[in-house]
Chain A
Amino acid sequence: MRKYMKIVVFTLLTVFLFTSVLTGCGQKSGDKKTESTGSTETSGSNTDSADQLFIGYVCNQMNHEWYQNICNGAEEEAKRLGVKLSIADSNMDVTTQINACENFIAQGVDVLVITPIDPKAVAPSLKKAKEKGIHVITESNVVEGADTYVGISNVEGGKKVGKWYAEYAKKNNISPKILIIGLPAYEDCRQRVQGFKEGLDEAGLEYEIVQEVDGQGDKEKSLVAATDALTAHKDVNCIFGINDNSTTGGMAAYKAAGLDESKLVAIGFGFEGKVGQEALMSGGPYKVACAMFPQFVGVGLVSASVALANGEKLPEHYETPTIAMTEELFPKYYNKNGAEYELNFDAVRELLNK
């Protein structure tokens, strides 16, 4: 027994040490902590009052950087407008999500905001909320019966980078051989690819899509799939990925295959965090990304909630802005703060007003 105890004590101490080292590294000062389970609350005033607008947001997966940024944006806007915002995480579990909806309904929220994991599964809960006079807003997916859907247009975003690439290819006399790293299981991601192709077509570019692979939105899986595809198609000179991980995974495969990176144009989608930002600013093959400004989706969720509560009628799709982000445009939208880039909210607001 003593022999095992020694091992356990030693193990626990070392794991603690590793965790501390990692925490010190992963947690930058000023980072906001997000909870992966349970809920977080933000309130615009020190005391909750009965007439203060109460928004409940049921997120689908708060351990994803994209949703962390949405939550950060929503919390900032809630503070600015003086409304109470409570966020619950579903951890990609439909039952947890339905329970969270029921909890918010029981708490008497004024607006229920949700990023549905499965639109069909949450439809009955949303119907119940509507029956109780609660406004319902969805993010990412359209759910029947909701007051509005807040989010970007994936097709439009895809078109923007497609058109940008068409101009770039024409200017540089490139004969495009494109590898697409997609995630065909998701409608949003299929729409991104569809928009990209439509953008190329609308700009009148002649191109060849040599292969479409499934990178599952993950850098490692994109790297493996792209490595296989590049073996068969060494003439690829453009990689379009449905998110930053897919694109950078494809770039890593291109580099590992010993191909000439100066001939490659890598196109990303999302541009939600450091991965895309650093790739764009490194001056390498990552030339453009459809920036979706997740913080602004968060802002949109709160401002749409306030508008609904004030009796305004909102369109079916409350669209938040996207642009084809390039190295030249980047400083306009992001300010460098130490090692981090901070979003310039005013610059994005301008896009919304356009």
Chain B
Amino acid sequence: MFKKVKSKLGIYMQNEQLPLLLLLIVLCALLTFFTPVFFTFDNMMNILRAASLVAITGVGMLIVILVGEIDLSVGSTYALSGVTGAAVLSITNNFFLALVAVLLLGILIGALNAFFVVKGKVNSLIATMGSMAIIRGVTMVTTQARSIQVTLDSFVEFGTGYWGPFPKPLVIAIVLIVLVGYILKHTSFGRYIYAVGGNSNAAKLAGIAVGRIKFIAYMIVGVLASLSGFISAARMNSGQPTAGNGFEMEVISAVIFGGASLNGGRGTLLGAMTGVLILSVLQNGLVLMQIDPFYHNIVRGAVIIFAVFIDERRKEGLTKKLLKAKSQQA
């Protein structure tokens, strides 16, 4: 009986997301104990609404990281999309047009990034660091660093409204997660993404159009960063040129925290989204517990290092076990 339970536990322990899910549960339990208001429906919705912006871009970032690249320009894209959406809205008063313009902008930024990385063979860290600065610069020059106010109700509703009891940004994030989750797991495109990141030469020899996959990955992260920026502008009723400062780090750290490898080819959507949730819960909990803001970064950094440390030890243990089993077989 004991052996059976142990072997079942072993199977679960091999699940990559388990330590993170456990951490999330422990964190929620602790916060519920310390601040009763934490585990209320309203607060859960607050956390999920705040997390949904990071989650939407995080879905795209995971794909780019899976193909073995990175995109540092998402924060700037987020800001430019917010002000572009607000500008188009203040001129046309047409919500649909603004949304289309913003999504198109995201695709174009993604295509530009991809062009320099894929065709120009510039290291993606450098290429997107450059585009991050250029896009932020364009945002500042075009707005003269001033926010663009919007008074259209349907716009504000998009960021702050509800579909049933759920905030709209959350529903959008869930739909995207389900869609991309399906694509990654059950389509050949999903398998190509893992193959390209795992070993790009082998993928090329197997006949996969590596360049095209990377192009699409960048366009996906571009359009999703734009969508997040547009939703954020809707929440604030204005396009803020300084929005999304440090957003790229928030997204990348959540995805990496969720178990994705910066070398590409390894990582899961569930893991990335758990990473996003843990960081959002932590942020919310620290405010609710009235912890001095100066400590927030320390706690955040410590939790990330601790979780990744535990995860690495677990993987090391698993590899050793696997090697031992193999040598015994031999």
Contacts of A8 in B (CB 8 A): 112, 115
Interface residue A40 (Cβ < 8 Å from any Cβ of B): no
Q: Given A231-B46, A252-B236, A68 and B144 touching (CB < 8 A)? A: yes
B: contact size bracket = 35 or more
26 contacts between A and B (CB under 8 A): A7-B111, A11-B115, A15-B112, A18-B101, A19-B138, A19-B142, A21-B88, A22-B84, A22-B142, A26-B83, A26-B87, A64-B145, A65-B145, A218-B242, A218-B245, A219-B243, A225-B287, A228-B283, A229-B287, A229-B288, A231-B40, A231-B42, A231-B46, A232-B288, A252-B235, A274-B147
0 or 1 for each of A241-259: is its CB under 8 Å from B? (1 = yes): 0000100010010011100
Q: Which residue of A lies closest to B243 (CB)?
A: A220
Contacts of A309 in B (CB 8 A): none
Contacts of A34 in B (CB 8 A): 144
Q: Which residue of A lies closest to B240 (CB)?
A: A219
Q: How far is the CA of A166 from the CA of B242 in the complex (A)?
A: 34
Interface of chain A residues 32 through 71 with chain B (CB within 8 A): 33-34, 36, 63-65, 68
Contacts of A252 in B (CB 8 A): 160, 235-237
Q: How far is the CB of B290 from chain A (nearest CB, A)?
A: 6
Contacts of A261 in B (CB 8 A): none
Judging by beta carbons under 8 Å apart, are A274 and B235 in contact? no
Q: How far is the CB of A30 from chain B (nearest CB, A)?
A: 12
Interface of chain B residues 267 through 311 with chain A (CB within 8 A): 283-284, 287-288, 290, 293-294, 296
- CB contact between B140 and one of A36, A225, A257 (< 8 Å): that residue: A36
Q: How far is the CA of A184 from the CA of B296 in the complex (A)?
A: 13
Judging by beta carbons under 8 Å apart, are B294 and A184 in contact? yes
Q: Given A228-B284, A229-B287, A22 and B145 touching (CB < 8 A)? A: no
Interface residue A106 (Cβ < 8 Å from any Cβ of B): no
Judging by beta carbons under 8 Å apart, are B35 and A18 in contact? no
Interface of chain A residues 249 through 304 with chain B (CB within 8 A): 249, 252, 255-257, 273-275, 278
Q: How far is the CA of A255 from the CA of B111 in the complex (A)?
A: 38
Contacts of B238 in A (CB 8 A): 219, 275
Contacts of A274 in B (CB 8 A): 146-147, 149
Q: How far is the CB of A252 from chain B (nearest CB, A)?
A: 6
Q: How far is the CB of A19 from chain B (nearest CB, A)?
A: 6
Judging by beta carbons under 8 Å apart, are B146 and A228 in contact? no
Judging by beta carbons under 8 Å apart, are A278 and B149 in contact? yes
Q: How far is the CB of A275 from chain B (nearest CB, A)?
A: 6
Q: Which residue of B lies closest to A25 (CB)?
A: B87
- CB contact between A15 and one of B42, B88, B108, B294 (< 8 Å): that residue: B108
Q: Which residue of A lies closest to B146 (CB)?
A: A65
Interface residue A239 (Cβ < 8 Å from any Cβ of B): no
Contacts of A211 in B (CB 8 A): 287, 290
0 or 1 for each of A10-31: is its CB under 8 Å from B? (1 = yes): 1100110011011101110001
Interface residue A150 (Cβ < 8 Å from any Cβ of B): no
Interface residue B128 (Cβ < 8 Å from any Cβ of A): no
0 or 1 for each of B6-46: is its CB under 8 Å from A? (1 = yes): 00000000000000000000000000000101001011001
Judging by beta carbons under 8 Å apart, are A18 and B50 in contact? no
Contacts of A81 in B (CB 8 A): none
Interface residue B105 (Cβ < 8 Å from any Cβ of A): yes
Q: How far is the CA of A25 from the CA of B90 in the complex (A)?
A: 8
Judging by beta carbons under 8 Å apart, are A25 and B91 in contact? yes
Judging by beta carbons under 8 Å apart, are B148 and A25 in contact? yes
Interface residue B119 (Cβ < 8 Å from any Cβ of A): yes
Judging by beta carbons under 8 Å apart, are B115 and A4 in contact? yes
Interface residue A142 (Cβ < 8 Å from any Cβ of B): no
Interface residue B104 (Cβ < 8 Å from any Cβ of A): yes
Q: Secondary structure of the A side of the interface? A: helix
Judging by beta carbons under 8 Å apart, are A21 and B87 in contact? yes
Contacts of A229 in B (CB 8 A): 287-288
Contacts of A14 in B (CB 8 A): 104-105, 108
Q: Secondary structure of the B side of the interface? A: helix
- CB contact between B87 and one of A22, A245, A278 (< 8 Å): that residue: A22
Q: How far is the CA of A131 from the CA of B284 in the complex (A)?
A: 52
Judging by beta carbons under 8 Å apart, are A26 and B148 in contact? yes
Contacts of B288 in A (CB 8 A): 228-229, 231-232
Interface residue A323 (Cβ < 8 Å from any Cβ of B): no
Interface residue B232 (Cβ < 8 Å from any Cβ of A): yes
Judging by beta carbons under 8 Å apart, are A223 and B236 in contact? yes
Contacts of A308 in B (CB 8 A): none
Judging by beta carbons under 8 Å apart, are A227 and B50 in contact? yes
Q: Which residue of A lies closest to B78 (CB)?
A: A220
Q: How far is the CA of A231 from the CA of B42 in the complex (A)?
A: 7
Given A22-B143, A25-B87, A211-B290, output 5 extra A-B contacts at Cβ < 8 Å.
Answer: A26-B83, A36-B140, A218-B242, A223-B236, A256-B235
Q: Which residue of B lies closest to A278 (CB)?
A: B149
Contacts of B49 in A (CB 8 A): 227
Interface residue A156 (Cβ < 8 Å from any Cβ of B): no
Q: How far is the CB of A34 from chain B (nearest CB, A)?
A: 7
Q: Which residue of B lies closest to A61 (CB)?
A: B145
Q: Which residue of A lies closest to B160 (CB)?
A: A256
Q: How far is the CB of B35 from chain A (nearest CB, A)?
A: 7
Judging by beta carbons under 8 Å apart, are A63 and B149 in contact? no
Q: Which residue of A lies closest to B107 (CB)?
A: A11
Judging by beta carbons under 8 Å apart, are B105 and A18 in contact? yes
Contacts of B284 in A (CB 8 A): 228
Contacts of B140 in A (CB 8 A): 36, 63
Interface residue A203 (Cβ < 8 Å from any Cβ of B): no
Contacts of A1 in B (CB 8 A): 119
Q: How far is the CA of A218 from the CA of B232 in the complex (A)?
A: 13
Q: How far is the CA of A273 from the CA of B240 in the complex (A)?
A: 13
